[in-house]
Chains A and B, each alone.
Chain A
Amino acid sequence: MSAPGSVGQVAPRRMRFDAPLALRSGAAIAGYELVYETYGELNADRSNAVLICHALNASHHVAGTYGDDPRTAGWWDNMVGPGKPVDTNRFFVVGVNNLGSCFGSTGPMSTNPATGEPYGPDFPVVTVEDWVHAQARLADELGIARFAAVMGGSLGGMQALAWAILYPERIAHCVAIATAPKLSAQNIAFNEVARRAIITDPDFHGGRFYAHGVVPARGLQVARMIGHITYLSDDSMAEKFGRALRPSPEALAAQLAADGAAETEALPRSDYRFTFDVEFEIESYLRYQGEKFSKYFDANTYLLITRALDYFDPALAHGGDLAAALAPATADFLVASFTTDWRFAPERSREIVQALLAARKRVTYAEIDAPHGHDAFLLEDPQYMAVVAAYFDRIHARSAAGAGVAAPAPPQQEAAA
């Protein structure tokens, strides 16, 4: 077996959809575009397609690089590629950017054909289910009647679950990682703090900040900081930063002046400076992450995507009965969680498993002992990778044996099913 590699250089593609897509809110959107990437080859009977759904701040760029710059590697490059758990020598992998995103698909930054201005706050509120219907249309265009697997982590896992419920005949396996059947009050609370930070930033201008040539950077920074805290475990933060103090600006400047000596030579401080500037390393890290984020992420998109998270609750239409919500599913499920994830804790994944068991679905559940909190689903933990790889071996074997071959499914589901 050759060493796992990269899918290499990739390029995003774009698909336009002129027919209006009815949204769950009652609104509709027409003439929208989705950006997507594909890796590997679709086989002759079109039975080896895998859809990867992205989470809050990711995109269609799942694997590979743009040009030969390794810094442009896709967000799940450790998972998807030749010889990797989702092996592109076997599978045709599709990454798609969701509606409302700021990474190329039609979203709040796009021009509203009705006004000629950016949609901004007028972009319709989209839900996980709306995304799934839009993804299904893309699959139609790509000639994929049935996915061998739909896979995602966090918010992406919610999309995979929604696929299993909304398009049971179009998904053979559902891989839902570090996700939840619905947000808890605490989850929604974090989202609300993030949204309030953005909305109350004077530069937000009711969402029409594009016209003012500004972005609500402070709000985005705070939103990202609080989000980031919830992605890390207490232990991983303690290990990475502890209570380490940031060198004073003077010390850093002096160090720079001293002909750029190694960073490690900055003297560790042993006493406080008694200010509200950055004092601890964790503060410096969070500010850095916040600033970086505010430079590339759209504030309106952040509002939309956190709302999509809040609204996801497939059991709602069934009086809270998740097993009833999952009853239509015919897929086999892999559910995985991480022991130190407190944003979407293992208990939340077990709720999904419990409902699947009650609904008599085939499900495998892995509870991975990893120290990294919610972020673990993006990291290369050996146990995690091994379970996903073994499960995709199974998917491949069944697909090759004909079990995953598309039953001639109706080319398109009703969008507002």
Chain B
Amino acid sequence: MKPASRIPGAAPIAPALSAASAGLIPSGAGPVDRALRPDLAVIGRWIAPGSRVLDLGCGDGSLMAWLQASRGCTGYGVEIDHEAVLSCVRRGVDVVQRDIEAGLGMFGHDQFDVVVLSMAIQATHQTEKVLREMSQVGSEGIVSFPNFGHWYHAWSILRGRMPVSREMPYEWFNTPNLHLATVRDFEDFLRRLGLVITGRAFLADGQPVGWLPALRATQAIYRFRRSR
């Protein structure tokens, strides 16, 4: 089943923006990314040089590799997929092979400056538990996710179809995505967990979105802290 982009006017899916590189499906040991995936580039810019970082569901380790090389950061990826683990080892990224939903008990409280969960939260079963643990393990959390509130998704449903998009390139019957949220849903969720939003960014097809992000963004990125 080949996922197709149905976003009107969207460019054909470039290899660098495949579902694999968007972190939605396990990425193989593919060609080395020249540039970071757009949401990872935003996340990378948010992370202070020298930070100690935990990247949950780190895929092939491209964010950690970039943070190590360009930002002097240290830390680990957490990844369950064997091929992705191998890619991390080959890139010189330390990785812990573990299902993030099995718990972050291996990591102590506040062991990290930043904990990242990029484009994976929608596929977690126990989303609340994962977010809670994230916020305990690091002083700051960063999450990117596909914005289900994108206008095209509403349009698609109005036409009687489940949306299929670049960020969510699955049909309803084969999607790993369980917990899809809109921007407003996610903000409510963070508040309910007692987390304070310290930054947000919105992307549409990898480009920043200024106005009406809740409708126009295909990806949303949030950073947050525990309230004191």
- Residues of A at the B interface (CB closer than 8 Å) are 332, 350, 353-354, 357-358, 360, 362-369, 383, 386-387, 390-391, 393-394, 397
Answer whether residue B142 sits at the interface, using C-beta atoms and an 8 A cutoff.
no
Measured CB to CB, the closest approach of chain B to A390, in angstroms, equals 4
Question: CA of A402 to CA of B125 in the docked complex: distance in angstroms?
Answer: 45
Query: What 1/0 mask marks residues of chain B from 86 to 117 whose CB sits below 8 Å from any chain A CB?
Result: 10111010111110000001111001000000
Q: Are B86 and A364 neighbours in the complex by a CB distance under 8 Å?
A: no
Q: Are A357 and B89 neighbours in the complex by a CB distance under 8 Å?
A: no
Measured CB to CB, the closest approach of chain B to A406, in angstroms, equals 21
CB neighbours of A393 from chain B (8 A): 90
Q: Are A365 and B95 neighbours in the complex by a CB distance under 8 Å?
A: yes
CB neighbours of B94 from chain A (8 A): 332, 362-364
Given contacts A353-B106, A357-B107, A357-B108, contact A363 B96 (CB under 8 A): yes
Measured CB to CB, the closest approach of chain B to A394, in angstroms, equals 6
Question: CA of A369 to CA of B98 in the docked complex: distance in angstroms?
Answer: 12
Q: Which of B125-146 contact A (CB under 8 A)?
A: none
Closest to B105 in A: A354
Given contacts A387-B85, A394-B89, contact A367 B106 (CB under 8 A): no
Known: A354-B105, A390-B86, A397-B92. 16 other contacts (CB 8 A): A332-B94, A350-B106, A354-B106, A357-B76, A357-B107, A357-B108, A362-B94, A364-B94, A364-B96, A365-B95, A366-B97, A367-B97, A367-B98, A383-B82, A386-B86, A394-B90
Q: Are A394 and B92 neighbours in the complex by a CB distance under 8 Å?
A: yes
Question: CA of A362 to CA of B97 in the docked complex: distance in angstroms?
Answer: 14
Question: CA of A365 to CA of B76 in the docked complex: distance in angstroms?
Answer: 10
For chain B, give the interface size range. Answer: 20 to 34
Q: Are B111 and A366 neighbours in the complex by a CB distance under 8 Å?
A: no
CB neighbours of B108 from chain A (8 A): 357-358
**Can you list 17 A-B pairs, Cβ within 8 angstroms, ordered by A?**
A353-B96, A354-B106, A354-B107, A357-B76, A358-B111, A363-B94, A364-B89, A364-B95, A365-B96, A366-B85, A367-B98, A368-B82, A383-B82, A390-B90, A394-B89, A394-B92, A397-B92
CB neighbours of B74 from chain A (8 A): 362
Closest to B77 in A: A364
Chain A binding site: helix, strand, loop or mixed by DSSP? helix
Measured CB to CB, the closest approach of chain A to B141, in angstroms, equals 18
Measured CB to CB, the closest approach of chain A to B82, in angstroms, equals 5
Closest to B96 in A: A365
Closest to A367 in B: B97
Closest to A362 in B: B94
Chain B binding site: helix, strand, loop or mixed by DSSP? mixed
Q: Which 7 A-B pairs have the closest CB atoms?
A: A390-B89, A354-B106, A365-B96, A367-B97, A364-B94, A390-B90, A366-B97
Question: CA of A386 to CA of B97 in the docked complex: distance in angstroms?
Answer: 14
- Residues of B at the A interface (CB closer than 8 Å) are 52, 74, 76, 82, 85-86, 88-90, 92, 94-98, 105-108, 111
Closest to A355 in B: B106
CB neighbours of A364 from chain B (8 A): 88-89, 94-96
Question: CA of A397 to CA of B106 in the docked complex: distance in angstroms?
Answer: 29
Question: CA of A242 to CA of B52 in the docked complex: distance in angstroms?
Answer: 50
Question: CA of A352 to CA of B161 in the docked complex: distance in angstroms?
Answer: 49
CB neighbours of A390 from chain B (8 A): 86, 89-90
CB neighbours of B88 from chain A (8 A): 364
CB neighbours of B90 from chain A (8 A): 390, 393-394
Measured CB to CB, the closest approach of chain B to A326, in angstroms, equals 14
CB neighbours of B92 from chain A (8 A): 394, 397
Question: CA of A367 to CA of B80 in the docked complex: distance in angstroms?
Answer: 9
Question: CA of A367 to CA of B95 in the docked complex: distance in angstroms?
Answer: 11
CB neighbours of B97 from chain A (8 A): 365-367
Question: CA of A302 to CA of B74 in the docked complex: distance in angstroms?
Answer: 44
Q: Are A357 and B111 neighbours in the complex by a CB distance under 8 Å?
A: yes
Closest to B93 in A: A364
CB neighbours of B96 from chain A (8 A): 353, 357, 363-365
Given contacts A365-B95, A366-B97, A367-B98, contact A357 B86 (CB under 8 A): no
Measured CB to CB, the closest approach of chain A to B70, in angstroms, equals 18
Contact pick for A369, options B82, B86, B107, CB 8 Å: B82
Measured CB to CB, the closest approach of chain A to B114, in angstroms, equals 15
Closest to B94 in A: A364
Q: Are A391 and B89 neighbours in the complex by a CB distance under 8 Å?
A: yes
Question: CA of A366 to CA of B79 in the docked complex: distance in angstroms?
Answer: 10
Measured CB to CB, the closest approach of chain A to B104, in angstroms, equals 10
CB neighbours of B89 from chain A (8 A): 364, 366, 387, 390-391, 394
Closest to A361 in B: B94
CB neighbours of B52 from chain A (8 A): 360
Question: CA of A158 to CA of B94 in the docked complex: distance in angstroms?
Answer: 21
Closest to A332 in B: B94
Q: Are B98 and A365 neighbours in the complex by a CB distance under 8 Å?
A: yes
Question: CA of A332 to CA of B93 in the docked complex: distance in angstroms?
Answer: 12
Given contacts A357-B76, A364-B94, A365-B98, contact A387 B86 (CB under 8 A): yes
